[in-house]
Every structure is written in structure tokens, then in C-alpha cells.
């Protein structure tokens, strides 16, 4: 890999991001796959982990769980003893790796005291990746709690609808509960609007309400004080729904479509935010260091 093409923001730190929403069908997996593919295309070493027994992320890469051909998966991380994480990965594209899931992963939901399994596994690859994206299942069970315990950040894929807003309140409360115990460093940093209909006045009103809520929290001590509604919103685009049936990301399937543009745009927004934050951090570090 050419190091000079890698964005500066994440060179020294692996960012672990959970794509989380307890509601089903909101765009978690589509966002994990296509945001991950956009990061990989911009030179970041990216790992995607399928934490959903439905294994939809795996299908996006043409991997079908099969009993005839068992393969290492995220279930193997929850085994006793666990399989080392590097043995569970498959390389999908340049700079892009993934860990598939299978139906047996559902058994992990019944495991006691298993909240740190993923966090412990990821410790072993801290210097190997720039970004890790965790595709959470719907719901807030053991698998989602594992993701929240391992993650630095939560990004919430959601629709701009009133009921989704109520769900967001519950999700932020869960993040807050996790910071009070299992993972004090966890922050909610972004909302991605998926299947967005910009013409809808209801949608516009909901987006405005989310923005205002986050703005009103900037000075408070909540784990979403830096959260942004990420831009651009991901428009409803049939190509995004078609790509997985060919085992392709949107950049393989139709790199010029609106869905590809939108996910590229969100990846660029995040990279710009990370760069800005790391510049502030290095300025603070150098002013704090003795002359």
C-alpha cells in the first residue's frame, strides 16, 4: 500500500465505529458496506464485521453461509476458546477485509458475561487497520452491547421520520448507559439519513429537529455533544438495493449512480471531520508540551 495516499487523520489510531439502530431495515448494513468501501478506496485499511446472524453484510460480498462449507466467522470469535480474529477475516477488495456472520451467531445472544469478547479480539489488530465498522443487528442484545463495548464511536443510520426520532432518544440513552459502565470512551458522533426523500416536508422538519437537538447539547456533558447529521443524506436509490444481489458494493455495481455519490460524500465528510479534529488535537498537544 502507498502510505502517501492514506489520509493523515487516522494513521496513528484505529477507529472502531458501530453502525447501530435498534430498529430493523433502516440502512445499517448498506451503510457499513458502502461507507467501508469508500474508506478503502481512499486508502484506509478497513475491516467490516458482520454482527448480525441474518448475515446480510456477508451477502453483499457474495458469501452465503453454508453448512457444507463451514468457514470462520464472527461466531468463531464467541467460541470457547475463540478463534484468533485474523483467522476469521476474508479480503474483499484492496484495503478492504470483512468477517462474515452465520446463523449460529444467534447463540451468542444467550451468552452470560460476554460483553467484552469483541473488544478483546480487536486488541490484537490495533496496528493493522485504520477503520473498523461494526454492522450491528437490530435490537440491543449481547451482540449490539459487544459492539458498543468495543467501539470508540456510534454512527446511527436512520430515516427522517417522527417515530424514528423517538427511537433515536432510546438509542442515545443506551449509549449513555454504556458510557456509565462498560465503555466510558464511547461517543455518538453521527447520524446518516438513509433512503432520504428530500421533497418531504415532514422529513425536513424531522431533520431540523434532530439538528437543533444536537446543537442544544454542544455545551453539555453527554456522549453525543459532538454528534452531527452527516452530509449528504443518502437518497433512496434502487441501485443500492440491487448491488448486494450481485455480491457487489455500490462502487463495483454502478460507481456513477446517486447512491455511490452519496456514500462517497459521507466518507469525505467524516474524513474532513477527523482531519479537523486531529489538527486541533496536535495544536493542543504542542501548546501543552514544555518548550
Residues that bind Mg ion (CB under 5 A): 28-29, 56
Would you count residue 28 as binding ligand ATP (CB under 6 A)? yes
Cβ distance 161 to 202 under 8 Å? Answer: yes
Q: Of these, 46, 55, 56, 159, which contacts ligand ATP (CB under 6 A)?
A: 56
Q: Indicate which of ligand ATP, Mg ion, none lies near residue 138 (CB less than 5 to 8 Å, by partner kind).
A: ligand ATP
By C-beta, is 15 or 28 nearer to Mg ion?
A: 28
* Closest alpha carbon to 110 in 160, 61, 75, 65: 75
DSSP string over 230-275: -SS--B--HHHHHGGGGT--HHHH-TTSHHHHHHHHHHHHHHHHHH
Cα separation, 228 vs 54, in Å, equals 29
The stretch near ligand ATP (CB under 6 A) out of 102-110, 123-131, 236-244, 268-276 is 236-244
User: Taking the complex as a whole, how short is the minimal distance between the CB of residue 25 and ligand ATP, in angstroms?
Assistant: 4
Q: Considering CB distances under 5 to 8 angstroms, the limit depending on partner class, which of Mg ion, ligand ATP, none binds residue 22?
A: none
Burial profile 8-34: b = 16 or more Cβ within 10 angstroms, e = fewer: ebbeeebbbbbbbbbbeebbbbbbbbb
Binding of ligand ATP by 156 (CB under 6 A):
no
Does 70 interact with ligand ATP (rule: CB under 6 A)? no
Query: Measured from the CB of residue 161, what is the shortest distance to ligand ATP in angstroms?
Result: 14
All three cell numbers of 275: 482531519
Q: Which of 195, 206, 250, 260 binds ligand ATP (CB under 6 A)?
A: 195
* Shortest distance (Å) from residue 23 CB to ligand ATP: 7
Minimal CA–CA distance to 263: which of 250, 252, 253, 254?
Answer: 250
For the CB of residue 265, give the shortest distance to ligand ATP in the complex, in Å: 13
Q: Quickly count helices (H) and strands (E) in the chain.
A: 10, 8
Kindly tell me which residue out of 95, 115, 159, 237 binds ligand ATP, with binding defined by CB under 6 A: 237
Q: Could you tell me the three cell numbers for 148?
A: 458498543
Q: Applying CB under 6 A, which part among 8-16, 20-28, 66-74, 94-102 lies near ligand ATP? A: 20-28
Closest distance of CB 256 from ligand ATP, Å? 16
Give CA–CA dist 31/240, Å, rounded.
Answer: 10
CA distances for 216 relative to 44, 193, 206, 222, angstroms: 33, 20, 15, 11
φ and ψ of 75, to 5 deg: -60, -35
From the list 51, 53, 59, the residue with the least C-alpha distance to 18 is 51
Q: Which is nearer to Mg ion, 55 or 189 (CB)?
A: 55
Q: Which is nearer to Mg ion, 9 or 99 (CB)?
A: 99
Catalog residues that contact ligand ATP under the rule CB under 6 A.
24-30, 52, 54, 56, 138, 194-195, 234, 236-238, 240-241, 259
Amino acid at each position: 500500500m502507498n502510505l502517501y495516499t492514506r489520509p493523515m487523520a487516522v494513521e496513528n489510531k484505529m477507529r472502531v465505529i458501530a453502525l447501530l439502530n435498534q430498529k430493523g431495515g433502516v440502512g445499517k448494513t448498506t451503510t457499513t458496506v458502502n461507507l467501508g468501501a469508500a474508506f478503502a478506496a481512499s486508502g484506509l485499511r478497513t475491516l467490516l464485521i458482520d454482527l448480525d446472524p441474518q448475515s446480510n453484510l456477508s451477502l453483499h460480498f457474495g458469501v452465503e453461509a453454508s453448512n457444507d462449507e463451514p468457514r470462520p466467522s464472527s461466531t468463531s470469535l464467541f467460541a470457547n476458546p475463540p478463534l484468533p480474529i485474523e483467522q476469521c477475516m476474508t479480503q474483499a477488495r484492496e484495503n478492504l477485509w470483512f468477517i462474515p456472520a452465520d446463523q449460529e451467531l444467534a447463540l451468542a445472544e444467550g451468552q452470560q458475561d460476554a460483553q467484552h469478547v469483541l473488544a478483546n479480539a480487536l486488541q490484537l489488530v490495533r496496528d493493522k487497520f485504520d477503520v473498523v465498522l461494526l454492522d450491528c443487528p437490530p435490537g440491543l442484545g449481547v451482540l449490539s452491547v459487544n459492539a458498543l463495548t468495543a467501539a470508540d464511536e456510534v454512527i446511527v443510520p436512520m430515516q427522517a421520520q417522527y417515530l424514528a426520532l423517538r427511537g433515536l432518544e432510546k438509542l442515545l440513552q443506551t449509549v449513555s448507559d454504556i458510557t456509565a459502565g462498560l465503555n466510558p470512551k464511547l461517543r455518538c458522533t453521527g447520524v446518516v439519513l438513509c433512503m432520504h426523500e428530500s421533497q418531504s416536508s415532514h422529513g425536513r422538519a424531522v431533520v431540523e429537529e434532530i439538528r437543533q437537538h444536537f446543537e442544544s447539547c454542544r455545551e453539555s456533558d453527554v456522549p453525543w455533544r459532538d454528534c452531527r447529521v452527516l452530509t449528504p443524506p443518502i437518497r433512496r436509490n434502487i441501485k443500492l438495493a440491487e448491488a448486494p444481489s450481485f455480491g457487489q458494493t455500490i462502487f463495483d455495481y454502478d460507481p456513477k449512480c446517486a447512491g455511490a455519490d452519496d456514500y462517497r460524500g459521507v466518507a469525505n465528510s467524516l474524513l474532513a471531520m477527523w482531519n479537523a479534529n486531529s489538527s486541533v488535537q496536535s495544536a493542543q498537544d504542542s501548546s501543552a508540551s514544555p518548550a
